[in-house]
Structure 1
Amino acid sequence: MLRYLVTLQATDREGLVEQIAHAVSHHGGNWLDSELRHIDGIFAAILLLEVPSAHWDELIETLESLEGVALTFAKTKKVADKVTHLSYSLVAYDRPGLVHEISNKISALGINIEHMSTRYESASHTGIALFRAEFNVGLKDASHEDKLTEALHAIGDDVVLDNLTV
């Protein structure tokens, strides 16, 4: 079995996920992990699949034949690192460059962003534009947790940061 990271993009329509899942299953694949999103009429998916090597080319042909689907893929391998995983929620007033500030602070500490989901919303009572991010990081050095918290709070007085790690 080979492991592949597959990204798919298409104009959103009903039944698209079922078509993709059917193709994976039909070719003996195992759907290990995924992120599926609908953003402004576009469906985007990131899939981690395990597929028998004899069926990989057939699976790619099937996925490419789906109407309007663009895809990329890369062979992966499971890596066992000793990493501390932390989850955070961050809310701040929305402004240009905020994702850059957040990623810069995290990167400067040598910390890896493993997952990040962001969205724009309006505060319910005031209508003020808010930026909300939920993200997971992997720390090779657990002592950097306090430094990370300090660095993210340094972005501004409006930053509300919650550690969601259980």
Structure 2
Amino acid sequence: MKTLVATLIGPDKTGLVQQLARLIRQHNGSWQSSAMSELAGHFAGIVEIQVPEEHAPALSKALRGLPEFQVQLVEGLASAPQGQTLQLTITANDRLGIVDELTAVLNSLNISVKSLKTASHPAPTTGTQLFEAHSTVVLPHGQTQEDLQGRLEALSDDLIVDIEPE
């Protein structure tokens, strides 16, 4: 078996995920895992596919031939970071550079980001813009949750950090 990781981006429309699933099935591929979103009217997705060696070239060609999509394919599996997996939720007043500040802390502690979803929306009572980040991270051996929480909370007084083991 061969592992393909396909990254796709293109204009969003109904039926894209089914089109992708059908194409994978037609080429004897098995959909392993994925992350997909609609952002600003565009579909963005990444999918891990297992496919028998003899069907990999045809599936690769078919994926690259999807109309309206930019497709990038990578073969093989990369090694996963080692450590404790955590669910990290951050809420703060939205401001310029907040993602840069947060990721600088993560980088300084050698923390790997497995997933990150961010949003900005008006606060229910005041209407000021709130920033929210939901992330799955890998805390490397030798780092503590307390250190991570302290370093993040030191960024500003309005930052609320919630960390839960996965």
Q: Give me the TM-score of the superposition, normalised by structure 2.
A: 0.93
Q: Name the CA distance, whole Å, in 1 between partners of 2:58 and 2:52.
A: 11
Q: Name the CA distance, whole Å, in 1 between partners of 2:164 and 2:62.
A: 40
Deviation per residue, 1:52-81 (Å, 9 max, x gap): 121122112222332201110112326366
Deviation per residue, 1:13-41 (Å, 9 max, x gap): 11110000001111111111111100111
Q: Tell me whether 79-88 or 131-140 shows the greater mean CA deviation.
A: 79-88
Contact 1:109–1:144 (8 Å) recurs in 2: no
> Which residue number in structure 1 is paired with residue 61 of structure 2?
61
Contact 1:63–1:69 (8 Å) recurs in 2: no
Counterparts in 2 of 1:80 and 1:105: CA distance versus 1, 3 Å: closer
> Which residue number in structure 2 is paired with residue 107 of structure 1?
107
Contact 2:81–2:112 (8 Å) recurs in 1: no
Moved over 4 A (4+): none
Identity within the alignment, %: 29
- State the aligned residue count: 166
Q: Name the CA distance, whole Å, in 2 between partners of 1:94 and 1:80.
A: 32
> Which residue number in structure 2 is paired with residue 156 of structure 1?
156
Which structure 2 residue ranges, 5 or more long, are not aligned? none
Contact 1:84–1:142 (8 Å) recurs in 2: no
> Which residue number in structure 1 is paired with residue 136 of structure 2?
136
Aligned-pair distance for 1:51? Answer: 1.4
Contact 2:88–2:136 (8 Å) recurs in 1: yes
Contact 2:36–2:44 (8 Å) recurs in 1: yes
Q: Tell me whether 5-14 or 76-85 shows the greater mean CA deviation.
A: 76-85
> Which residue number in structure 2 is paired with residue 8 of structure 1?
8
